[in-house]
Amino acid sequence: MNKNSLIFLLSSVGLIVLPHSANIPPALFGFFSLMLSWRFVCVWRPQYLPTTRILFFLTLLAFALLLSQHRHLLGRDAGTNLFILALGLKLLEIKAERDIYLVTYLAFIVAASLFLYEQSLLIAAYILAVCCALLATLVTINSIQVQTRAALKTAAVIILQAIPMAAIIFILFPRIEAPRWMLFEEKNKAKIGLSDSMEPGSISDLGTSEELVFRVKFTGAIPPPKQRYWRGPVLSYTDGKRWTQLSSQRFEAHTTPPRTTGIAYSYTLLMEAQEKNWVFALELPTQFAKPLAQTGYYQLINLENPTKRAEYQITSYLQYNTQRVTQIEYQDSIQLPREPSDKIKQLVTQLHGFDSKPDAFIQQLLNHFKQEDFHYTLTPPLMEDNPIESFLFTTRRGFCSHYAAAFVYLMRVAHIPARVVTGYQGGEFNTVGNFLEVRQANAHAWAEVWLENQGWVRVDPTAAIAPERIEQQLNLDQLELGGEIFFNASNAKHTNWLKKGLQLWENADYQWQRWVVNYSSNQSNFLSSFGIHDFKTMMQWLMALVGLITVLLSIFLLHQKKKAIDPVLRLYQQFCQKLQPTGLIITSREGAVDFAQRATTALPEHAEMIEEITAAFIQLRYGRVTTRENFIRFAKLVAKFKLNNRRLGWR
C-alpha cells in the first residue's frame, strides 16, 4: 500500500463521515476524528501505530462511549454509530490488502447509512461523489502504478455503467413494508408546525420560517391565489385568551355532508414529514382515499403514521354549502368564557350587532377594521390580560390570529356561531414544475361563520385590513424588522434569473422527492400505468430488463473492440474466416506466420496461396514500406482465395 493511495483512502473516509457530524453525538464524532487524525499522522510516522493491546483498550473505550450515548445497540442511531466507530478503529489496523477492502466496504455502509438521516438531492449527489472516490481507491490498490486522475475516471465510468441497472432495479424491485421495530426513531427531531391551540402571539415565530410544509400538483384547473385556503385544525373553544380544539366526535355522526357546486379541483398533495396527523387540503375537500379521514370540522387527518413524507390524492370544491349544524356544534360555536365587558357590548351595539342581520353585522365589523386605525404587523405589543379588549380598543396592532380571534369573539357576542380556522393560505407557484409550494411562512388563521341557508362561510378579517397579505406573498426578509409590514408589489426580491434558478432547483428537488424518495408509495400506481399489476409480472419484467441490459452492454463492448481494427487486419480476418470451415481457427496467441505454418500443413494444396497472403499481410502490417498497390494486391489475394469444394465436401 503506497502512501498516496493511503492518503486518498483516509480522505475519502473522512469525507463520508463528515455529513454524519450533524447526526451523531459529539463525543462519538470526536472519537472518530481522533482515530482518523491518528491514522493520518501514522502515514508519515508509522512507528506511532497502536499496538494490539492499545487497540483492544480503544475498542473497549469505543463500546463504553457508544453505550453511554445510546444504552443499547439497536436502532438507527446506535447502529450507524457502531459502524462509524468500527470504521475509525479499523483505520488504525490497516496492515494488509484485505484490511483496505474491509475499510472500503465499511465506508460504503456508512455512506449508505447517511440516507437514513437525509434523502435530499444534494446529499445523494454528495454520497455518489464520495463513493466515486472510494471506488477509485479500490481501482488504485488493484493495479500497479495508476494515476489518481485515471483511477477517478475509471470509478466514474463504473458508476455511470451501473446507473441503468440500478434504475431498473430501483423501479421494478418489489418494496417490502418495513416491520414496526425497524422504523426509525425521529422523535428528537421535532417538526415545527401549526400548534393545536392559538393564543394571539404564539403563531408569530412560525410566520418567518421558510420551511416547506407541502407541495401541491393540480391535475386540471388551478384555483386563484385568493381562494387558496388550506384547512387545518379548527379552534372553537376559548377561555378568553387561548383558543383550543374541541373533539368533533360528539357531533360528527350527525353532520350533514356539504353540497358542492362549481369547479372540482383535483390535486396531488405531497406532505413533508409532520408531527401531527393533519393534512392540509384545499377548502373544502370532498374526495380522498385511505388512510385519510375527515373530522366533523371538515379537516382531513391521516389515520396512520404521519412522521413519514406521504402523498395524497384529493378533490376539493371552492363553492360549498355545509347546510345545517347540530345542536352541539351550535353550542360550541357561540361559547364564551364569561359575560363580555360593557365596552365590547357597546361596540357590538354601535355596529348594529344585535339589531341587524348577521351578514350586515359582518360587513359592519370588517368596515370597522378597515376604517379605524387598525394595523397589520407581525410584531404586535404584548396583550397579557384581556387580549381581545386591549387589541380592539388600545393597541389595534396584530396579525391574522389577532384579527381572527377578535372577529370570532365579537360574532359570538352577537350570538352568531363562529369559530377560528387555522391552516395555510396561498403558496408560491413554481412555474418550472407547475406545482405549488406552501411553506411555514404561509401559516394563517381566519374565521368561519355559520349563516342560515349558507352553512359555514369563511370570513377572513385579515383580508379586510391587509388585502395584500392574501393576494401577494409576504416579503419575508422584512418581517424580522418589525413594525409595519410592507408588501412587495412586484415580488422582485430576487433578480429574474436568480428566481428562475431557484425555481428550477425547487422543481428538481420536488421531482426528486416525488419520484425517488417517495417512490415506494407510488410504485404500484406507477407500474400499473405500464400494465404491470402483480408481483409475478414485476419480477418477470425485472429479469427481462436486467437480461436485456446485460446483452446490450456486452454487444456494445464487443463492438467497441472491433471499431479500432485497421483495414489490413480486417482483410486478414476475412481470410481466416474463409479457412474456418476446415476447422482451422486462429488462436489469440498465434501470429500470422505461426498460423500460416499450421494452415499449410493442414492444407498442402493451398500452401502457396496461404504463404503469399501471409507474406503480403506481414509486409503491410509490420513492414517498412506499405504502399497502396500492396494493399490492393493483398485485398485481391484475399478475395481470390477459395477453398476446394472437394475438401469441404469431405468434412
Nearer to another protein, 190 or 558 (CB): 558
Contact in structure between 286 and 316 (CB atoms under 8 Å):
yes
Nearer to another protein, 173 or 622 (CB): 622
Binding-residue pattern over the window 499 to 538 for another protein, x denoting contact by CB under 8 A: ----------------------------------------
Q: Is 145 in the site for another protein (CB under 8 A)?
A: yes
CB of 157 to another protein, least distance (A): 16
d(CA 27, CA 291): 41
CA 45, 46, 51 angle in degrees (round to 5)?
A: 130
Binding-residue pattern over the window 585 to 624 for another protein, x denoting contact by CB under 8 A: -x-xxxxxxx-----------------------xx-xxxx
**The binder of another protein chosen from 144, 253, 492, 558 (CB under 8 A):** 144
Nearer to another protein, 563 or 624 (CB): 624
SS3 content of the chain, % helix, strand, coil (to 5): 55, 15, 30
CB of 512 to another protein, least distance (A): 38
Contact in structure between 417 and 325 (CB atoms under 8 Å):
yes
CB of 566 to another protein, least distance (A): 7
Cβ burial 473-512 (10 Å sphere, 16+ → b, else e): bbeeebbeeeeebebeeeeeeeeeeeeeeebeebbebbeb
Contact in structure between 399 and 220 (CB atoms under 8 Å):
no
Please count the other Cβ atoms lying within 10 Å of the Cβ belonging to residue 611: 15
Give the chain's count of helices (H) and strands (E): 24, 19
Contact in structure between 637 and 613 (CB atoms under 8 Å):
yes
Nearer to another protein, 4 or 202 (CB): 4
CB of 140 to another protein, least distance (A): 12
CB of 491 to another protein, least distance (A): 60
Residues in CB range of 307: below 8 A, 6 or more apart: 186, 273, 274, 275
Q: Is 102 in the site for another protein (CB under 8 A)?
A: no
**The binder of another protein chosen from 546, 569, 584, 643 (CB under 8 A):** 569
- Residue 634 DSSP code: H
CB of 621 to another protein, least distance (A): 5
CB of 125 to another protein, least distance (A): 31
Nearer to another protein, 191 or 621 (CB): 621
**3-state SS of 398-433?**
ECHHHHHHHHHHHHHHCCCCEEEEEEEECCEEECCC
Q: Is 572 in the site for another protein (CB under 8 A)?
A: yes
Nearer to another protein, 145 or 188 (CB): 145
d(CA 426, CA 229): 7
Interface with another protein by CB under 8 A: which range of 1-9, 138-146, 321-329, 455-463?
138-146
Q: Is 566 in the site for another protein (CB under 8 A)?
A: yes
CB of 563 to another protein, least distance (A): 15
CB of 101 to another protein, least distance (A): 14
Nearer to another protein, 78 or 618 (CB): 618
Q: Give me the torsion for CA of 577, 578, 582, 583, rounded to 10°.
A: -10
Residues of span 474-493 touching another protein by CB under 8 A: none
Of 142, 90, 81, 151, the C-alpha closest to 116 is: 81
Residues that bind another protein (CB under 8 A): 142-145, 566, 569, 572, 586, 588-594, 618-619, 621-624
